[in-house]
Structure 1
Amino acid sequence: MNFVTPFLAGAAEVKTTPPLGTRINGDFITHYATHIHDDLFAKALVMKSGEETVALVIVDICVMPKEFVDGVKTLIASRTGIAHSHVLIASTHTHAAGSVADVHLGSLDPAYEKMLPGRIAEAVQAALQQLRPARVAFGSVAAPEHLRCRRYTMKPGYMPLNPVTGGTDQVKTNPFGVEAYIDHSVAPTDPELGFLAVQGLDGRWIGILGNYSLHYVGDWENGNISADYFGCFSHRLRERLNAGGEFVGMMSNGTSGDVNIWDFVDGGRYPQAQFEKSKFIGHDLADRLVDSLGSLEWQPEPVLEAIFESIPCEIVKPSAQELENAARMIAGARFETIDCDDEGLKRIYAREQLLLAEMPAIRECPAQAIRIGSGIIGGLAGEFFSETGLYLKTQAGTGSYFTITMANGNAGYVPPRHEMERGGYETWRCRYSCMAPGTEAKIREKLLAMIRTLRA
């Protein structure tokens, strides 16, 4: 008698909302939580087929360093037995969450860093307890309206400052206050809202994992805690599907390092009140996804496979002369009260050069590929541009594919070589943007090879 191994899936979410007073990063300076607008969560989707178990975990947070994520994976493995290579943990990239990383003058919160790992592991454990016979389907809808490449060439009369070199860039990122000088954006965006849908064989929903290449929306005052549009999307899914408490909606961040919805050309097309733009975008994406569900092709017995590799990559450090200049620049600086104007940015980035000089010359950049039936999900540890995601989708050669970024760690910005040559905020050398030219292509090709291995 032949027995078919059932495909099982379960999902769960655990609240990770920090207490008031917790540090928030994602800006040039530290902010502190003064108001909880909506709760944050660690959300886990666990799938099992035979001996293979995969966990996809999305956390409402800005970024998580590799060392932090590695510790969380070790904790998950000790509690569940799921292998490091088969767990993907990614940040949504909301900029209104507790901090576990130092970015510029934004510092980690030690208490939150201590609390969060257990909550993430708890979500995976809870999802395992919810395992039941299931089926999966990949889907896709177009949603180009909410995407803008935030890197612009500017008209004569405005020279974009590079605070590291003291010279000028070819592009300006987020041209606040100088919109009149905008000529055009420099790169395409990825219009696809890709998703993985998971449903019990009894018809009850288990979870949906969306993927969209849009930065956080950020339509709130600093000090608020919010899951941004990622949370609005998830809540709307549950509402539209009339799903029970066992359903978990998740939104992952695609290749959005050069994309946001701060529309500098047509800024009046969205609601202006705080949190209303996040709600509008999150609900619109969820509605489009739900309206497309009738065309899905369900797979009741999908194959599960996963590959993980940590890629050693060189970083670029300042020269001795640059370090000498940086030391002079920060002499007498008042970082406690610094303004993020041109002079303030020069001092912030001077500090970055001195700290960068003390870092190891090699940064480990994780890459991961997970096959779920006819689809593959890639994971990259950093902020990659839409160009990278579009390339991988074109070359993957599989039925469905999308890339989750800020997954399994954070290498910071990893722009394509030609975008590094243009300059702009994402390329200003610092601890968060220090990868050697050509790193994006190296990582991209390695992930593509992993994808093709799973596809074979």
Structure 2
Amino acid sequence: MIRFCLAAALATTLTFLSNSAALAELQVGAAIVDVSPTQFPVLVNGGMTSKTAEQIKTPVSSRAIVISDGSESIALVVVDSCMVPKMLLDDAKNRAAKRTQLKPDHIMISATHTHTAPSAFGALGTDADLTYIPLLRERIVESIVNAEANMQPARVGWGAAEAAEFTALRRWIRRPDRIDNDPFGNPTVRANMHAARNPDDVTGESGPEDPELSMIAFESNAGVPIAVLSNFSMHYFGDSPISADYYGLYCNGMQNYIQQKYPDAKNVVATMSHGCSGDIWRRDYAAAEPSQYDTIQAYTDALLNIATETLETIEFDDADTIDMAESRFRLNYRVPDQQRLQWAQQIVDTLEGELPKTTTEVYAREQVLLHDLQSTEVVVQAMRIGDIAIATTPNETYALSGLKLKQQSPFEKTMVIELANGADGYIPPAEQHPLGGYNTWAARSAGLEVQAEPKIVAAGMRLIEQVSGKPRRAVTQAKGPACQATLDAKPLAYWRLDEMEAPIARDSSKNHRDAIYEPGVVFFLEGPASAALTADGEPNRCAHFAGGRLRSRIGNTPQGYSVSMWFWNGMPDEAREVSGWLFSRDHAHSITKFGEHLGVAGSGDEAGRLIFKQGTSNETLVGTTVIPRWTWNHLALVRDGSKVRVYLNGNETAELQSDSVTEPQPGLDQIFVGGRSDNNSNWEGRLDEVAVFDRSLNADEVKQIAAH
């Protein structure tokens, strides 16, 4: 009897373990459901004013992938729509949960952001198409149900490639003398989309790009592809409605490629999710020649070439764990003050219930709507599939926001999907708001509070930590030989200007002399392309100054001091008398007798040359080399008693010099980088790798630091 009981217990244990192992096996299913409208005309979102479509150019779809490890199940859904509101998506999730094993908070639904799909969300001059919404909701649910029904044992893999020629920054910073008016009649537009159509109007891009094309692929245990989820940061190409834009063409092209190579993959599902693209488009305004991909098909085919090559490199493995977490919280809208509300209401009253037809009417109506709404709930999610992480935002998020999540994620394999679980509009990083522009004009499509972006990114980062069980990574830039040479020279302070947000510029020396960014600085752009500054091909990062400065204190240096920095001038020479001041040592808000100021001359015979000016003297030291706009250069300012030397690009011969200036004076311990002490003609362009020394550097040290 005892032996029988032991044998039975052992058999039960083995059966339980066997069942547990089976339950732990990754299961994946996928499905595509057509969500094209059946009634015409249909409203189309994505424009300033309302428009309709009468026909379908390409179908629009809901593409779903359901993943389970036996204990947790998640659904990833991508819908061909400009934006889909949270209320509609919550309804779809609850309906899907009743027909599947999924929980509502374990379903992610995102929009591709095609501007040629039926309107599911009221924004700017277009209302939601109320006839279309029930069809969209039901077919999203149907895609989730069908995907779960198609589940089978599977393995997962990750692939990523650089696709820089297919994406570019579309938001550029305007010159301070060419500020535009906003829809409310105020001159606030220092940065705007497509401002670089005229390069003379702008000083440079307002942020970085994210060129990564990433993919999560699933295959059966027999090696047959089941699904591929791609992610890319490019806003949209542009097409005729009704159309899925390049997203649909990409998905169909990927499926055709897989089916030709794997005849058994008849039901493979490819989907393209929208990466962080609020400030991104396909045209590179900085390029000398326009893109060769001037049609949507040519663009898609070329992008697919990269994607299919990357797909062939993916290695598949079992995912030991899947998990998902969600956070919901309220954010305020930037509601109009009483004066603007009164202005807006007067305009809305004249519409007499009709839709707005001008930009002014559109934004007037938006003010009234924001006043009525006051606040909203946003949804942020994070998922883990083995060693792969996915984070979401419910917004049109800038590329920088996606990079913040990717670079801090505990997992190197991290995808960020925007316009997921809601349609809460643009959320520029907080430092972008003072620069104004379309992406900041208060409306339902861009109306959340100024701190919305840091709050949403922080929520996403916390959720990634939660599902991974690991802390976030520290974002630190590698030290190349020129960087190390700067540190070896023992600076008082060394600011690499590689931050992702204000207000602190970290001191990379051991002296803890952090500096402060003023408003009017944007972050994480590409710095000098010198491999000597970083390592292993890592991009060097810098800050772009657009009226703001970097402020710090360095103490008294009566015998002399030195300043080293890289600079990139965005201002045309003829724009003003001084293109911009790079460095200033003086009392704040004034120019005093003993102050010292280094910059680049503007209009006149000295245009494009370095200049050094001391105090209130009329004498100006002028360099010999004309520095081309939009090029990286290195300078070193060396002060030694009554001597001043400024070296350019590591040259042994000084660019400008004098042996008879006034010696550095005690009490002038405040320094300003990227502007003058009185805020006159501040720098308009990029700066990087700023180091301050309490001694005079020698020529060899300057050469090493300048990477020459």
TM-score normalized by the length of structure 1: 0.92
Deviation at 1:111, TM superposition (A): 1.1
The Cα of 1:168 is off from its aligned counterpart by: 2.9
Which ranges of structure 1 fall in alignment gaps of 5 or more residues? none
Partner of 2:462: 449
Alpha-carbon shift at residue 281 of structure 1 (Å): 2.6
Identity %: 29
Match in the other structure for 2:151: 131
Residue of structure 1 aligned with 2:281, choices 260, 276, 284: 260
SS of alignment partner, residue 291 of structure 1: helix
Please, which of 18, 26, 31 is the counterpart of residue 7 of structure 1?
26
> Does structure 1 retain, via aligned residues, the 8 Å contact 2:63–2:79?
yes
Q: Retained in 2: the 8 A contact 1:255–1:385?
A: yes
CA distance in 2, matches of 1:146, 1:183: 23
The structure number with the bigger radius of gyration is: 2
After superposition, residues 303-382 of structure 1 pair within 5 angstroms as: 303-330=321-348, 332=350, 344-359=358-373, 361-382=374-395
Matched, 1:235 2:252: yes
What is aligned with 1:289?
307
Distance 1:177 1:286, change over 3 A: closer
Q: Secondary structure at the match of 1:440?
A: helix
Equivalent of 1:251, from 261, 272, 281?
Answer: 272
CA contact (8 A) 1:196 1:208 kept: yes
Q: Is the CA contact 1:18–1:98 (under 8 Å) kept in the aligned structure 2?
A: yes
Q: What is the CA deviation profile of residues 281-305 of structure 1, one whole-angstrom value per residue up to 9, with x for unaligned ones?
A: 3222222122123432322243110
**2:431 matched to 1:412?**
no
Please tell me the root mean square deviation across aligned C-alpha atoms, in Å. 2.0
- How far apart in 2 are the matches of 1:308 and 1:132? 26
Q: For structure 1, which segment, 200-209 or 31-40, has the greater mean C-alpha deviation from structure 2 after superposition?
A: 31-40
Q: Which segment drifts farther, 14-23 or 280-289? A: 280-289
Instruction: Give the Cα separation in 1 of the matches to 2:299 and 2:365.
Output: 37
SS in 1 for 2:455: helix
Q: 1:12 Cα deviation (Å)?
A: 0.6
Q: Which residue identity is paired with 2:271?
A: M
CA shift in 2, pair 1:396/1:161, >3 Å: same
The Cα offsets for residues 205-254 of structure 1, whole Å up to 9 and x where unpaired, read as 11100011111111x34xx2111111111111112222533101100001
Residues 18 and 180 (structure 1), Cα distance of their counterparts in 2 relative to 1, 3 Å cut: farther
Q: Pick closer, same or farther for the CA change 1:68–1:337 going to 2, 3 Å.
A: closer
Q: Is the 8 A contact 2:179 2:187 kept in 1?
A: no
Gaps of 5+ in 2: 1-13, 470-708
Q: Deviations over 1:348-389 (max 9, x none)?
A: 211211121111x32111000110000010111111111110
Q: Distance in 2 between matches of 1:232 and 1:302?
A: 33
User: Aligned AA for 2:90?
Assistant: D
Q: Which residue of 2 aligns with 1:298?
A: 316
For residue 153 of structure 1, report the CA deviation from its aligned partner.
Answer: 1.9
> SS at the partner of 1:89?
strand
Say if 1:385 and 1:8 are closer, same or farther in 2 by CA, change over 3 A: same
Whole-Å Cα distance in 2 between the matches of residues 177 and 328 of structure 1? 35
Which structure has more helix as a fraction of its residues? 1
Q: Give the C-alpha shift of residue 279 in structure 1.
A: 2.1
- Structure with the greater relative contact order (CA < 8 A, sep ≥ 6): 1 or 2? 1
| Contact residue 41 and residue 54 of structure 2 kept, 8 A | yes
Across the two proteins, how many residue pairs are aligned to each other?
Answer: 444
- Residue 492 of structure 2 corresponds to which residue in structure 1? none
Relative to structure 1, the CA distance from residue 312 to residue 205 in structure 2 (aligned partners, 3 Å threshold; closer, same or farther) is same
Deviations 1:257-298 (A, max 9, x none): 1101144465742354xxx2x222322222212212343232
Q: 1:305-338 CA distances to partner (integer Å, 9 max, x unpaired)?
A: 0001112112211011111122334454599696
> Contact 1:164/1:428 (CA < 8 Å) preserved in 2?
no
Question: Structure 2: which amino acid aligns with 1:346?
Answer: T
CA contact under 8 A between 2:283 and 2:291: conserved in structure 1?
no
Letter in 2 for 1:254: G
The separation in 2 between residues aligned to 1:334 and 1:169, in whole angstroms, is 31
Aligned pairs for 1:9-88 within 5 A: 9-19=28-38, 20-88=40-108
What is the aligned partner in structure 1 of residue 582 from structure 2? none
Asked whether the 8 Å contact 2:181–2:188 carries over to 1, the reply is: yes
For 1:10 and 1:85, the matched residues in 2 are separated by: 19
1:163 paired to 2:183: yes
